[in-house]
Structure 1
Amino acid sequence: MKMNIVIIGSSGHAKVVIDVIERQGKHHIVGLIDAFRTHGEETMGYRVLGAETDLPVLAEQHALGGVLVAIGDNHVRARVTAGVGALCPDLCFITAVHPQASVARGVRIGAGSVLMAGAVVNPGCEMGPGCIVNTRASLDHDSVMDAFSSLAPAAATGGNCHLGSCSALGMGGLLLQRLRIGAHSVVGAGAVVTRSVPDMCVSYGAPARVIRSRVAGDKYL
């Protein structure tokens, strides 16, 4: 029997997450949670059931077993995940892996993480909770993604790379082997990272250069 779950979020990113869950076929989506939309509105045929604060009641009403936070912004996803965990400690955070993703044997994937279509995660990799490996993104061998970090569509790392917590490698960005992107740092689309990026900054270009500092929760670029 499939576990009843809800998806937190109802935007474009949530649409892709819904597709992954449907194709995976392991869970039954009861509905969506979104505090910024009206109860009863729909995304891909699923109704908005309420806000995060409604979760304790909804969990009982719908016999929920799990939840997945489908919010693309790393910092917001981390904050919402913490809030849900405090409200409903008995709900598990599920992972979602598209059937067309390639995940090597022995890879560790943290709770609440999502791997989209065409994603590649090679041997020896570790992903913390709440990570995103987006469409056609690639995490090469022995690399680490700390909690709530993300690879945008078509982004790729070399081997032995490290993405700090809540860091983001933008669309089509490249992180060369044995380099690190610091915590809460953002690397822009199409960048080529040839030197490790420190914590709390925005970098872009080819080769990538630090453009400015940022704080947790800033807009990406």
Structure 2
Amino acid sequence: MKNILIYGASGHSKMIVDILHKKNDYRIVGFADCYKSTNDSICGYKILGDFNALKEIINKYNVDGIIICIGDNYTRQNLYNNIIKVAPNVEFISAVHPSAIIAEHINIPEGTVIMAGVIVNANSKIGRFCILNTRSSLGHDSEMHDFSSIASNVTIGGNVKIGHCSAICLSTTVIQNIVIGDNTVVGAASLVLKSIDNNKLAYGNPINTIKERKPDSQYLG
């Protein structure tokens, strides 16, 4: 059984621990986090250190793989880029809840997390380090590019493209044949009836583009 380190000690990480416990494919050695003390613990696992201690943690605990538990897409991508500089040979782990319904021949690449009740339909494609949150649905022939995410209760129609680092927030519906650009955030409870360009903040029922956004603009509270 491989030893894995969970990077990021948030509510999102608690959901990942639940998946890992249910699957029982890995041994969790603990957490790394830049905002928690080594006196803290999450789900019974200790905080072993921050990013500066990462190399030492990997060596001390014989870490085979890391799973990144960061909800913000840009931050998750930035952390990945930093990790591979200090640990270029580490494996990045994906996690799929056993209740998820995944169509045949769907590849789940490194770093991607699929939560409870998710439905991934036929011929869809999921990129690296994506998040498909609780009870979300990805339609047939749709694509999620690397580091993108769909939040809980999101419904994505068929033949939809979700760009790199883009986020579709809670309970949003995206109809068929829509293209969401890169680094775009669609706010909660929106109805997306038209495509949205790169680097936009958009929300509403029906959807309206509100303003330009920078890729590193935070969107999670």
TM-score, with structure 2 as normaliser: 0.97
Q: Deviations over 1:93-149 (max 9, x none)?
A: 010000001111111222100000001111111111110000000001111100100
- Superposed displacement of residue 53, structure 1: 2.3
- Supply the distance in 2 between the matched residues of 1:128 and 1:28 (Cα, whole angstroms): 25
* Secondary structure, aligned partner of 2:3: strand
The AA in structure 2 aligned to 1:62 is Y
Whole-Å separation in 2 of the counterparts to 1:53 and 1:160: 42
* Cα distance in 2, alignment partners of residues 159 and 165 from structure 1: 18
| Aligned counterpart, 1:164 | 163
Amino acid at match of 1:99: P
1:86 aligns with 2:85: yes
In the aligned structure 1, how far is the partner of 2:119 from the partner of 2:151?
Answer: 13
Distance, in Å, in 2 between the alignment partners of 1:140 and 1:48 is 38
* Structure 1 portions without partners, runs of 5+: none
Q: Which amino acid aligns with 1:16?
A: M
- In 2, Cα distance between equivalents of 1:184 and 1:116: 22
**Post-superposition offset of 1:181:** 1.1
* Deviation digits for residues 142-195 of structure 1 (CA, Å, limit 9, x no counterpart): 111001000000001001111101101110001111101111100011101000
Give the distance between the partners of 2:214 and 2:42, measured in 1 at CA: 32
Match in the other structure for 2:211: 212
1:19 aligns with 18
2:219 and 2:182 map into 1 onto residues whose CA distance is: 13
How many residues of Structure 1 are paired with residues of Structure 2 in the alignment? 220
Q: What letter corresponds to residue 120 of structure 1 in structure 2? A: I
- The superposition leaves residues 45-82 of structure 1 with CA deviations (integer Å, 9 ceiling, x where unpaired) of 11000012212111111111100100000000000011
Q: Tell me which moved more, 24-33 or 48-57.
A: 48-57
What is the letter of the counterpart of residue 55 of structure 1?
L
- Tell me the amino acid that sits aligned with residue 142 of structure 1: D
Partner secondary structure for residue 29 of structure 2: strand
User: Within 2, Cα distance between the matches of 1:163 and 1:53?
Assistant: 33
What corresponds to 1:148 in structure 2?
147
Q: Determine what percentage of the aligned residue pairs are the same residue.
A: 36
* Alignment pair present for 1:136 and 2:132: no
**Which letter maps to 2:170?**
M
Q: Helix, strand or coil: the match of 1:196?
A: coil
TM-score, scaled relative to structure 1:
0.97
CA offset at residue 6 of structure 1?
0.5
Aligned-partner Cα distance in 1 for 2:141–2:188: 24
SS at match of 2:82: helix
In 1, the alpha carbon distance for the partners of 2:185 and 2:210 equals 10
Q: Structure 2, unaligned stretches of length 5 or more?
A: none
Structure 2 counterpart of 1:64:
63
Q: Does residue 174 in structure 1 map to residue 173 in structure 2?
A: yes
- Measured in 2, the distance between the counterparts of 1:87 and 1:105 equals 36
